[in-house]
């Protein structure tokens, strides 16, 4: 167990994922058999973090009910961001309930690797990855191995090292003080108060922040990326309980939740079936079947299937 509090901003709607986000926040979308938030919490727990602050907003009840029922062993706190004013503002909402070291991980960021290098507790750190087109991310400028600048979604990036959405701070009061400064200055990028600008403020105040390279990062922003992520995670975390093998034809890798009902189906490769789903006489390949989705006689490939968009 460690002293970090995790802050997970999950207020966003995820407009690029409509209609799937019509009834839940983006972080509640399923991939590889579980909502994105579950993949994140698995990682957070593996780091020994037991206290999690969720910054909720859009469709908050769905997230709160899920977390309360599935993670009763964690100390969870929910704070609300009432208006979508940007990531910096969302994180600032956690100020009244967080002291000491904090680890921020964005609600649409799946990192399927070891997060411990980020939260070892010796330095302020940000997760980074080299990307082909950094213009849609926060970008890190390095001098040698040292971070000398941050910029949010620059038109002319100074490097191709992107912020992946995981940040750790030894003392969150410094971060909140910088967020306050950014908010008071009125500075926005793309009309939003940015966390990246608070990182620049920390640097200007002489606080050092080290980059930690992360390779297994999936930014689940579009249906196409969700399906790709589903494939990659299934290659690593496939699981089909024995009871489903008797009267179905299953080609690995697949994930079928224990609570699902699956009868007379041909599934796979790359099919994930979440909690409470019911599938009868279906042929599916490369598909995400979301929680509580009922399908009968469905043939589909390369698709997300959920109970609302059938």
Cβ proximity to ligand G1P, 81 vs 196, nearer residue: 196
Kindly tell me which residue out of 11, 55, 87, 182 binds ligand G1P, with binding defined by CB under 6 A: 87
Cβ proximity to ligand G1P, 221 vs 276, nearer residue: 221
Residues 6+ apart with CB under 8 A from 66: 28, 35, 37
First to last CA, the chain: 43
Kindly tell me which residue out of 7, 91, 162, 289 binds ligand G1P, with binding defined by CB under 6 A: 162
- The minimum distance between CB 152 and ligand G1P, in angstroms, equals 5
- Binding pattern for the stretch 245-284 against ligand G1P, x by CB under 6 A and - elsewhere: ----------------------------------------
- The minimum distance between CB 67 and ligand G1P, in angstroms, equals 21
Kindly tell me which residue out of 21, 27, 59, 196 binds ligand G1P, with binding defined by CB under 6 A: 196
Kindly tell me which residue out of 151, 219, 275, 306 binds ligand G1P, with binding defined by CB under 6 A: 219
62 token code pair = 């769905």
Asked if residues 55 and 81 have their Cβ atoms less than 8 Å apart, the reply is yes
In 153-213, which ranges are E strands? Answer: 161-169, 209-213
Asked if residues 228 and 214 have their Cβ atoms less than 8 Å apart, the reply is no
Residues 6+ apart with CB under 8 A from 281: 263, 264, 265, 296, 297
Residue ranges that bind ligand G1P, judged by CB under 6 A: 87, 106, 109, 137-138, 152, 162-165, 194-196, 219
């Amino acid at each position: 167990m460690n002293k970090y509090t995790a802050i997970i901003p999950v207020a966003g709607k995820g407009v690029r994922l409509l209609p799937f986000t019509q009834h839940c926040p983006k972080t509640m979308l399923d991939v590889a058999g579980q909502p994105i938030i579950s993949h994140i919490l698995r990682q957070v727990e593996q780091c020994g973090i037991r206290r999690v602050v969720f910054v909720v907003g859009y469709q908050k009840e769905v997230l709160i009910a899920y977390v309360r029922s599935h993670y009763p062993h964690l100390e969870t706190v929910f704070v609300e961001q009432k208006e979508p004013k940007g990531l910096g503002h969302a994180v600032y909402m956690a100020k009244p309930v967080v002291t000491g070291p904090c680890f921020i991980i964005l609600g649409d960021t799946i990192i399927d690797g070891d997060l411990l290098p980020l939260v070892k507790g010796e330095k302020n750190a940000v997760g980074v990855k080299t990307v082909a087109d950094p213009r849609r991310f926060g970008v890190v400028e390095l001098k040698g191995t040292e971070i000398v600048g941050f910029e949010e979604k620059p038109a002319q990036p100074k490097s191709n090292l992107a912020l992946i959405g995981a940040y750790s701070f030894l003392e969150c009061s410094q971060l909140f003080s910088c967020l306050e400064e950014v908010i008071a200055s009125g500075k926005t990028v793309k009309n939003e108060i940015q966390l990246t600008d608070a990182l620049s403020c920390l640097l200007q105040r002489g606080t050092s922040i080290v980059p930690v390279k992360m390779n297994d990062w999936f930014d689940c922003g579009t249906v196409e990326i969700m399906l790709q992520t589903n494939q990659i995670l299934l290659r690593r975390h496939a699981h089909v309980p024995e009871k489903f093998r008797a009267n179905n034809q299953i080609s690995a890798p697949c994930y079928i939740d224990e609570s699902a009902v699956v009868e007379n189906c041909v599934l796979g490769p790359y099919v994930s079936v979440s909690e409470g789903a019911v599938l009868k006489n279906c042929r599916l390949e490369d598909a995400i079947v979301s929680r509580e989705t009922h399908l009968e006689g469905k043939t589909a490939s390369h698709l997300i299937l959920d109970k609302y968009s059938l």
